[in-house]
Amino acid sequence: MSGSTEIADGVPEEKGIFRGLAQAPLHFHNMVAELVDNAIAAKEKEFIVKIDISKIPDTPDLFAVTVVDKGPGIPLKRVKDHVFKTGDPPPKGSLHLNEHGFGLKNVLAKAEALAGSWTMQTRDQDILKKDSFYEVNSPLAFKIPIYVKAGGQWPKYGSDSTGTTVRINLPLSYFQTVSRGKRGAPPENIPLIVRYLREHLGVFYRGYLEGGKKAFGSIVTSLNWKESEDVEPIRPDHSTKIPVKKF
């Protein structure tokens, strides 16, 4: 009828939005970078981020990727009201890197589509004083439980004080996207995949790893929680005539 107004329903459908996020192009090194971004944003000075890849026992093709930081942890209110809210931007003035409310959810949705399992654990000063921590597990949902766990259940690889860990199960086939765009066959073993990953991280975070004006900190990698190795900053060699098509 002329002059009338109808309202289009823009409320997202719960399953559809997370399935849609999982379809977004996201290679393995970009997934890890999203988690490293969050860790640096939480503690921009003297940050320490550890990335481990470990074989999951009794599974032929599944590995656990764990990103651990020694930041301030995430307060309960932020876990409840912001971390898992889709499209929620960071607070004004916050040093979130390319974060517009979808980065972490994109990572977790992709992980669910590939292997179906992830866990986030965090503790700030308030919950640490109570010898406890917060834990959130897959699957993603609009209303997702936050469990309060006893401090004795905090993972051994976690920070000695405050901090956050994100653990994601992924198949080997997805790790191989770390070499997407490069010539040759994809890497077939985890040590080589880690080498590719370290190169990407060295380029992505060279300004942070070198010190500079932004931050001072370190990123380290390990296999099966054994010897850690620092990621070194890498500057692309612009003197060559080989075009850099994408990072």
- Domains recognised in the chain with CATH numbers: 28-221 (3.30.565.10)
**What pLDDT is stored for residue 239 in this prediction?**
56
**What pLDDT is stored for residue 180 in this prediction?**
83
Task: Work out the angle at residue 140's Cα, subtended by the Cα atoms of residues 88 and 61, and round it to the nearest 5 degrees.
Answer: 125
Distance CA 121, CA 158 (A): 9
Tokens of 235: 């500057």
Residue 159 backbone phi and psi in degrees, to 5: -60, 145
pLDDT less than 50: residues of the chain: 98, 244-247
Half-sphere exposure of 79 (CA within 13 A, CB side): 21
**What pLDDT is stored for residue 159 in this prediction?**
95
**What global pTM score does this model have?**
0.86
Q: Which residues of 44-80 are buried (b: 16+ CB within 10 A; e: fewer)?
A: beebbbbbbbbeeeeeeebbbbbbbbbbbbbbeeebe
**What pLDDT is stored for residue 15 in this prediction?**
86
